Amino acid sequence: MSDPSSALAAPSTRESRKPKPAPQPSFAERWLAPRNLIVALITTILVVGQWQYSILGGYEVLAICLGTAVATELALSLFLRGHVPNVQSAYVSGISATLLTKTAAGVWWPLFAVPALSIASKYVLAYKGRHLWNPTNFGVCCMVLVAPSSVTVLSHEFGNSLGTNLTIWSMGFVIAWRAKVIHLTFTYLAAFSALSWVRAAILGTAFATESAPITGPMYQLFLFFMITDPRTVVSKRKWQVVTVLAISVVEMLFRLANDFELPGSAYVSNPPAMYALAVVGPIAMFIDLATKKPAPAKAV
């Protein structure tokens, strides 16, 4: 005969084996999440850039790029996945496209094409459920490559205001630290500086001349949003660093090719950093996904 006390104890034992609910993040943790900080920084860059330097050329540019990005995200997610997506990623892509895309006078179609291509690349150019290109990087590079007479990239329009750069860089470093990818930002900065010395020695120019672009707005977006994009960064820390170093070297080669006017170099002259990422990043991501072992099944 079974012991009645053991039967009474059984339910409490079963209850104790139930997994405890995960602790809910605090209000501060939710608002300081990397995704929210990225939205805050990209918005700050836009607001400060427009307020100080009128970089947009009109708020209709913002409306077109941001509206196209969000609309494309909603349409593709509903059609292909059957659910309404979180549009934070589309917001970041739309603002980035707004900041980076500069069109010839009277030309409007690239303002629709860049954000649409950027968002569509996440759904089409994917492998094992992960997109291979940073979305905005892909959209901008495609447009500059196929329509260089109609589209160019934001370069020096922010000027060299110390206050503006300190604000943007401080927020960027905080975001990279919170997202645990600050090692990639520092790796790229170190590699860019070292390779600027190499370029200066080869070309006979000043180091300051070769390193100056790093303070521009395109490189700020590149440093804090593109090479550190969690969805397109390889999984292992060692290979993350190797990938960033490879991007830095390819960028230097693109810039040198343009300096020496080698055949075909004009195609990767503007912007060389983004083209380097567009070439190296997807290759590294594909290799990482192809060689990654599937996670072991959990015991039932």
* Span 27-35, average pLDDT: 61
241 pLDDT above the threshold of 60:
yes
CA distance 76 to 291: 29
- Look at residue 23 in the predicted model and tell me its pLDDT: 60
pLDDT value, residue 64: 95
pLDDT at 216: 78
The continuous run of DSSP H or E covering 9 comes out as helix 4-17
Identify the pLDDT of residue 299: 47
User: What pLDDT is attached to residue 158?
Assistant: 58
Six token digits for residue 1: 């005969």
Tell me the C-alpha distance between 285 and 160, whole Å.
Answer: 35
> Greater confidence, 101 or 55?
101
Contacts of 113 (CB under 8 A, 6+ apart): 139, 143
Q: What is the pLDDT of residue 30?
A: 59
Q: Which residue has the higher pLDDT, 35 or 91?
A: 91
Residue 300: pLDDT over 70: no
Lowest model confidence (mean pLDDT) among 106-115, 131-140, 216-225, 227-236: 216-225
Mean pLDDT of 136-164: 82
**What average pLDDT does range 290-296 have in this prediction?**
76
Secondary structure of residue 289 in the 3-state scheme: helix
Tally helices (H) and strands (E) across the chain: 13, 4
Across the range 167-175, mean pLDDT stands at 83
Provide the pLDDT confidence category of residue 16 given band limits of 50, 70 and 90. low
**pLDDT tens for each residue of 185-220:** 999 999 999 999 999 999 999 999 999 888 877 888
In which region does residue 43 sit, left (phi positive, over 0), alpha (psi from -120 to 50) or beta (all else)?
alpha
3-class SS at 153?
strand
How many Å apart are CA 235 and CA 99, to the nearest integer? 29
Write the single-letter amino acid at 195.
L
